[in-house]
Structure 1
């Protein structure tokens, strides 16, 4: 009986991860198409995303785009409602900040993870006011608090699977775990550049673990190395990562989503 329950729980978790990954892929396309990432706080239309995953998807988007995220959908009485997630420490209390703009109907819950509501006619003026107020803030620049350090040679798929099991506990003030992975070898010939804007890169370590960094600017060191050096230069990086199992197209891929990195060789 216990084995059956455990198997059902594992299957349910895998199904949930697949749905979240599908939602993220869909929303990335919308964000690119509508250039929503140009805003200081990411406002995203969640229509088409399973309501039960709204908070988790908002958290993943805020981490990926390195800024606070508001994932909202049409509700009632001309109101859009959904979930907000903070990022970094430039805004100490996102909930109160949103209320202080004067445009939100409500923002309730934890200071960094809250339910929100806003009238449709207030979305554009809210974005404009927030962009002006936060114009000097770079959300990508802050201190990372890591949970542990590991050399890439000691990193295994089992470790990533164990980290992936923690996803159910994140949210409501519990931040996603960060791991510093040291001495990751990167050969410029083996870097794969993806995304509509060709601003995402990934490398495979030991033919089994994927390291990926989303939404980089033109000054990203790895992207520049890939563009300018076709001779196969060998680099080494230390990377702060979030670990997960990516379920997509029936394939499970252990991955380390890079939040920040430095070239050490």
Structure 2
């Protein structure tokens, strides 16, 4: 949604200049640093990024308003429940270690009604498993690296689609991007990216892959790049990775 707003901002500059905003609020999906910077420059207002989910009565973390210390690429500090990072066996990890984001607190659901199977997988040692992957730094800032079910498994190499998104968005010709998995006969999955170009920009698949190769390890460079006028979105306007390969005829 934010990328779509930015892609239309220049043609509505008069409106943006005449209606000043105090701040912009972002939640639902993590915000790439480049998009956050572009939003702040376009609207001349700070972006307050939050992280939440229904099972926690919404807000779980938030980047503070200036003069607080904002961390682009991070969803901020715990704001409500306790937040930690857990490994697959249920052990809590140290600062900087990547694992599953887990939460605990009075505002966190005690379970799903009449669904013992979901409860068994959602709770571990008193913590609720969010299904999100991330890490927390020594100052408590949480950074999301992706949904666990969206992580691309390329022959055993685990690739965060968001990491690839952020690199491709840094290209001056790219307006929108979503990285996703496509089937591969030998590796199981490989990396693909759907992109929308800035108005008037010229860029082909080879050019984008060459650019990505300067910033990413070889196995993370998209094997397939699809250039579209518009990327298919879900009912809430979010870019959805799961099922995109099928929608684009790549599976």
For the aligned pair, the TM-score class normalised by the smaller chain equals: under 0.3
Greater helix share, 1 or 2?
1
The TM-score with structure 2 as length reference comes to 0.28
The higher-RCO structure (CA 8 Å, 6+ apart) is: 1
The TM-score with structure 1 as length reference comes to 0.27
